[in-house]
Structure 1
Amino acid sequence: MQQYLNLLQKVLKDGTEKSDRTGTGTISSFGHQMKFDLSEGFPLVTTKRVPFRLIASELLWFIKGDTNIKYLLQQNNHIWDEWAFQNWVESDSYDGPDMTDFGLRSQKDAEFKKIYDKQMELFRTLILEDEHFAKEFGELGDVYGKQWRAWSKSTGETIDQLKEVIQSIKNNPDSRRHIVSAWNPEDIPSMALPPCHTLFQFYVADGKLSCQLYQRSGDLFLGIPFNIASYALLTHMVAKECNLEPGSFIHTIGDAHIYSNHLNQVNEQLSRQPKELPTLKLTNEQDVFSTQMEHIELINYNPHPSIKAPVAV
């Protein structure tokens, strides 16, 4: 994972200070690529502990075609909570304490954070226990799962991009059209967050399956380690179904950035030496769509301790 650390160092050194949607501020650099040989180990960052269980359950959520956070909460996965929470606190149904700019305020105001945490806990409980509430406020719109599994056509029909690309890999492995896109311009306004990882392409050669991701925007400290591992896992899963060996994962990033409130964390991570990569074991039958959490096993992951950092919402 040295190339990931090299990218962090390069953006710190050569990046440009920019404003951003969240109001946090970033150091940003445009146009970077990393390539991971999956035969050398599973590319999960070792210079800090990365919660692989969250990565795997989020990927299964995408694969299910789900766009409601209820499944994630049932898996104790809170990656998307803030975006759904924002839908609730900005709605006419919400009558609790003022949550304006809750993301930034909860980082700077300890008293407000206590209030925010209490409201967030209430929100999660309502999602899990109140079906009507979950349907209204747990929904994130036409995000990744919808685009991967039910892309809307002008005829009113849908396209299951992921299922079709897997069949294409099996039936026409040399095709240059093994592509899944999450960027649907018509649906962008209805998404809680427009897709950061926008398009991925599979490639078959020498009995191996490789995948390249184009990511328009990448939070280098918090997000990118998740994205690397998520698409590496997807590549393993699709390779297994298609009777291929995992090849490489190529990660192409547009706006690669470090948030201004992550600088201390990044410097701490850069002071650490990478450790040996873990390995991945898939124990289910050769079917991507029936994979459950118990079928995914990470072996010998022994990273440095975790480094906490706030999420920019």
Structure 2
Amino acid sequence: MPRPDHYEFQYLDLMRRIWTEGHERTDRTGVGTRALFGATMRFSLADHAVPLLTTKRVYWKVAAREMLWFLTGNTNIRPLVQQGVHIWTDWPLDKYRRATGDEISRDAFEARIVADEGFATQWGDLGPVYGAQWVNWPRYEPAGEGDGLYRRARQGHNQIAALVEGIRNNPGSRRLLFTGWNVDDVDDMALPPCHMTYQFHVADGKLSGLLFQRSADFVLGVPFNIFGLALLTRMLAQQCDLEAGEIVWQGGDVHLYLNHAELIETQLARMPEGAPRLHINRRPASMFGYRIEDFDVVDYAPQAHIAAPVAV
């Protein structure tokens, strides 16, 4: 009997290939992975389609809140924690524990982040991660006449605003992209950007998006990143009076953590089903005006959530 045609099979097929053929290796976290180098997946966005996984629950509102946080340029976890989003907490928590010797629980740490703005300023910042580079990429100006020195300007480049203008005014350009990989800032980031470079393409009145992800945690990160790319592409298309075309996801080091074995086997045994749709209910004045209530996902009935530990 032929296998039903469903967008999620390319994700599951790649997961199985990584798990059965991947090179086993040590990694930064000490957990160990199986990894392949170089992978591609494509998903249509036609008719409001959104490539949310159905073989496990993907908490799309968490991913959407994170995307909106990126677009503010904020790099402190406090606004996320205030919304009940915990996906960035482990890095500053680990830094705090190592610096102070205080084995505070994550819940207690987050409670202090929310209650004490000064504590959040000191311990909740992640360095110049994603949003800082997306909307405030460092720009340098002469420090003094004739001395040949430059200083960092107060206001940097807003790559997202420039991208919107580029799509609107020069849709045939091959420079419709932005990146978070700033070599001068990488060492100051809690985690260097994994989903690092986005490029966009206009054809036949449709906008398509491509993401290159240098490091791809296939269980925890990639489902969020695929949704984030779809959401961002839909937002950009709306702002530029275009239809959404497709998204292309490309991974460099695509890996599965060895401590996710039981979870991987559980997911691979499931059959994908359903066709969720993403609706944007309002068109704000700019890319920076969207709110979480502007997004609705319908017809999404995933199978049970599969929990997995984060490797820090």
The AA in structure 1 aligned to 2:115 is E
Further displaced range: 118-127 or 25-34: 118-127
For residue 216 of structure 2, the aligned residue among 210, 215, 218 is 218
Further displaced range: 195-204 or 278-287: 278-287
Structure 1 residue 124 and structure 2 residue 110: aligned? yes
- For residue 73 of structure 1, what is the aligned residue in structure 2? 81
Give the TM-score normalised by structure 1.
0.91
Structure 1 residue 85 and structure 2 residue 83: aligned? no
For residue 96 of structure 1, the aligned residue among 89, 102, 105 is 102
The AA in structure 1 aligned to 2:23 is T
Q: Secondary structure in 2 aligned to 1:248?
A: strand
Structure 1 residue 136 and structure 2 residue 122: aligned? yes
Q: CA deviation at 1:95?
A: 4.8
Q: CA deviation at 1:197?
A: 0.7
The AA in structure 2 aligned to 1:78 is H
Q: CA deviation at 1:119?
A: 2.2
Could you tell me how far apart the structure 1 residues matched to 2:166 and 2:204 are? 17
Q: Secondary structure in 1 aligned to 2:274?
A: coil
Could you tell me how far apart the structure 2 residues matched to 1:45 and 1:166 are? 29
Q: Secondary structure in 2 aligned to 1:305?
A: coil
- For residue 9 of structure 1, what is the aligned residue in structure 2? 16
> How does 1:197-236 map onto structure 2 within 5 Å?
197-236=195-234
The AA in structure 1 aligned to 2:86 is H
Residues 86-133 of structure 1, C-alpha deviations (whole Å, 9 max, x = no match): 221222xx2524xxxxxxxxxxxxxxxxxxxx5222210111011111
Q: Secondary structure in 1 aligned to 2:132?
A: helix
Structure 1 residue 38 and structure 2 residue 37: aligned? no
- For residue 309 of structure 1, what is the aligned residue in structure 2? 308
Q: Secondary structure in 2 aligned to 1:159?
A: coil
Could you tell me how far apart the structure 1 residues matched to 2:52 and 2:85 are? 18
Q: CA deviation at 1:277?
A: 2.2
Residues 24-77 of structure 1, C-alpha deviations (whole Å, 9 max, x = no match): 000000000001111162100000011111100000000111100011011100
Residues 256-301 of structure 1, C-alpha deviations (whole Å, 9 max, x = no match): 0000011111111011111112101111224321100111111111
The AA in structure 1 aligned to 2:138 is S
RMSD between superposed Cα atoms in Å: 1.1
For residue 248 of structure 2, the aligned residue among 224, 229, 250 is 250
Is there any run of 5+ residues in structure 1 with no aligned partner, and where? Answer: 98-117
The AA in structure 1 aligned to 2:31 is T
- For residue 190 of structure 1, what is the aligned residue in structure 2? 188
> How does 1:257-296 map onto structure 2 within 5 Å?
257-286=255-284, 287-296=286-295
- For residue 24 of structure 1, what is the aligned residue in structure 2? 31
Q: Secondary structure in 2 aligned to 1:288?
A: coil
More helix by share: 1
Residues 125-146 of structure 1, C-alpha deviations (whole Å, 9 max, x = no match): 1110111111111100000000
Could you tell me how far apart the structure 2 residues matched to 1:90 and 1:202 are? 41
Which aligned runs of 4 or more in structure 1 are off by greater than 4 angstroms?
Answer: none
Could you tell me how far apart the structure 1 residues matched to 2:133 and 2:88 are? 17
Q: CA deviation at 1:309?
A: 1.1
% identical equivalent positions = 43
The AA in structure 2 aligned to 1:311 is V
Could you tell me how far apart the structure 1 residues matched to 2:18 and 2:102 are? 41
Q: Secondary structure in 1 aligned to 2:185?
A: helix
Could you tell me how far apart the structure 2 residues matched to 1:65 and 1:277 are? 33
Q: Secondary structure in 1 aligned to 2:39?
A: strand
